[in-house]
Structure 1
Amino acid sequence: MSQNKFKLVECPRDAMQGLHDFIPTELKTAYLNLLLQVGFDTLDFGSFVSPKAIPQMADTPEVLANLDLRNTSTKLLAIVANLRGVEEAIKYEQISYLGFPFSISETFQQRNTNSSIDQSLTTVEEMLSLCAKHNKTAVVYLSMGFGNPYGDEWNYEIVEKWADTLVGKGVTMLSLADTVGVSTPEKIKDILPKLISGFSNTEIGIHLHSTPNERFEKIEAAYNSGVKRIDSALKGFGGCPMAADDLTGNIATEDVISFLNSKGADLNLNMDKWNEAINLSAKIFS
């Protein structure tokens, strides 16, 4: 990857999943089809989790059937939370990446996937095996990677231990995920360079949640730490419905674009389609 080349991962799934009112499948699809034309590296578009847990994503197969992938280089990522979800997602040739939230907080792993950390590690092993057989790549999120609100023990050594374990199992793409907005620029600058240098053959990304007034500081800290893969969502919509009720949102994609443009990064985005997506988002997130 060239020095200035960034992988931008747009996360409409994360933005939409916590909305109470169901978004019509046609509207979801229209929004995703616009985002597919912008030029992001990856679109985190849907999930194969229990409809009882995330009813908003129950129509992911229908949405997928109506996505126009003819004129886009953007790859599709779907979130899974257990082996059943993996087995469902790998059936779809259009999907390149399966994302799994591997929490280093035992409390959150139970809340989010109804399984323990050890059980989730077994799921990751089975997911890696199935991905290899079906030409998919696993993206594992180190969820609660900057701390947690439950009082579970957290420090850098715990982050490193689980990163080392997952890489040892064959994970090639790790994303350090904040989930509840407890990351700080100081934590980012402390943790990310160590992970990036310590796991030089692994793609290390970042998935941050933030209040609006802290976004730029966190983006700058991640950039200065050497990260080349950043998750974000248009206007900073969304958050994790399993984490808390008083949620901070995602990092806003427009802030990431603005910051990286100021650094001369090679983004090559279709801003006309981006602006169309912003306009259409008003119908979804009103």
Structure 2
Amino acid sequence: MKIIECPRDAMQGLTEFVPTATKTAYLNALLRVGFDTLDFGSFVSPKAIPQLRDTAEVLAGLDLSQTRTRLLAIVANLRGAETAVTHPEIEFIGFPLSVSETFQQRNTNKSILEALAELAQMQNLCEKSGKQLVTYLSMGFGNPYGDPWSPEVVGEFTQTLADMGVGIVALSDTVGASTPATIAPLFGQLIPAFPQIEFGAHLHTTPTSWREKVAAAYQAGCRRFDGALGGFGGCPMAADVLTGNMATENLLAYFQEKGEELGLNLEVLAEAQALAGGVFGAVVH
């Protein structure tokens, strides 16, 4: 079972800039918790995501000496990937490839065909640099724009990624559109069809629908889940009203019920929750 903690996704939509020192202290606490991976920052245009313009400075302040957690950085183009791979501390490079043409343009200012061409270059770059590319299939459970979507479409995208050699694919519920009726069949079909790929669930949700979504993915065989403490954040490019990230607390509660051994330091988790109040302007319970 892999839990990917995503403070980058939680912070990126905040309008008030969080000081670098505050970010760094929060991320260092999260590192000590022992998550599998920390989605800590992004190398994108400061004009697009001003909140994360200090990712390189934050990275320089992270203490990786006593953690098993690996670092993931998000990029929106090849230039960002070229910057990210120069940092030896970063193991994973994440790129959002959308199943929706409208959202691909809105999120990365390029067409799906252009994004696929650039993604192939990123995969090659990662292979040469000893990194792993994580591809997020944005709008993986449907979209509000009327663009074509079906399990077959998602399967075709996945086949293209498999042909490139991509090893990790996270189905992303960018606007909270997923339901158990869409989640279970997708994972149920894709996981056995592509055994060489590790599939993840990046689910956005409301406070009342999280359990059924997690259960659907878990029961269909998914063992990689993204979350963010407090359920903060979402994609600022997706909608005017943000649908929250999957709350890490809910993921942990569910998997503990299922008897999964997560190996996390819960005392440090409480410390991180306290620090989250300084980052997001509210106390996380």
TM over 0.5, shorter chain: yes
- Residues 131-157 of structure 1, C-alpha deviation per residue, up to 9 Å, x if partnerless? 111110000001100000111011111
User: How many angstroms apart in 2 are the aligned matches of 1:228 and 1:46?
Assistant: 23
1:167, 1:279 → 2: CA distance?
41
Q: 2:52 aligns with which of 48, 52, 57?
A: 57
1:174 matched to which residue of 2?
169
The answer to whether 1:256 aligns with 2:251 is yes
What residue in structure 2 maps to residue 130 of structure 1?
A: 125
Residue 84 (1) aligns with residue 79 (2): yes
Query: What SS does structure 2 have at the residue aligned with 1:213?
Result: coil
Q: Give the AA of the match of 1:60.
A: T
Alignment of 1:134-173 (within 5 A): 134-173=129-168
Q: Take 1:55 and 1:242, find their aligned partners in 2: how far apart are those partners?
A: 13
Residue 136 of structure 2 aligns to a residue whose secondary structure is: strand
Task: Name which of 27, 32, 48 aligns with 1:32.
Answer: 27
**Could you list the per-position Cα deviations for residues 216-266 of structure 1 after superposition, in whole angstroms to 9, with x for gaps in the alignment?**
111111111110100010011100000001121000000000000011101
The one of 201, 204, 208 aligned to 1:206? 201
Consecutive unaligned residues of structure 1, counting only runs of 5 or more, are 1-5
User: Residue 209 of structure 1: SS of its match in structure 2?
Assistant: coil
Q: Does 1:192 align with 2:192?
A: no
**TM-score normalised by length of structure 1:** 0.98
Gaps in structure 2 of 5+ consecutive residues = none
1:97 — aligned with what?
Answer: 92
Match of 2:229 in 1: 234
What does the per-residue CA deviation read over 1:58-92, in whole Å, with 9 as the maximum and x for residues that have no partner?
Answer: 00000000000000010000000001101110100
Q: Distance in 2 between matches of 1:72 and 1:267?
A: 14
Which residue of the other structure, out of 267, 272, 275, is the alignment partner of 1:277? 272
Q: Distance in 1 between matches of 2:72 and 2:124?
A: 17
Q: Aligned residues: percent identity?
A: 58
Task: Give the distance between the partners of 1:21 and 1:236, measured in 2 at CA.
Answer: 18
The DSSP-based 3-state class of the residue aligned with 1:219 is helix
Post-superposition shift, 1:109?
Answer: 0.2
Which SS does the other structure have where 1:27 is aligned? helix
Aligned to 1:20: 15
4+ long deviations beyond 4 Å:
none
Aligned residue for 1:212, secondary structure, equals coil
Could you tell me how far apart the structure 2 residues matched to 1:124 and 1:250 are? 25
Count of residues paired in the alignment:
281
The SS at the match of 1:210 is coil
- Return the alpha-carbon distance in structure 2 between the equivalents of residues 129 and 191 of structure 1: 27
Give the corresponding residue for 1:3: none
In 1: Cα distance, 2:280 partner to 2:59 partner: 21
Shift of 1:271: 0.4
1:13 maps to amino acid? R
Alpha-carbon shift at residue 280 of structure 1 (Å): 0.7
Shift of 1:186: 1.2
- With normalisation by structure 2, the TM-score equals 0.98
Query: Helix, strand or coil: the match of 2:92?
Result: strand
Question: Residues of 2 paired with 1:25 and 1:173: CA distance?
Answer: 30
Deviation at 1:46, TM superposition (A): 0.1
Residue 183 of structure 1: CA displacement?
Answer: 0.3
The partner residue of 1:8 within 3, 8, 19 is: 3
The equivalent residue for 2:105 is: 110
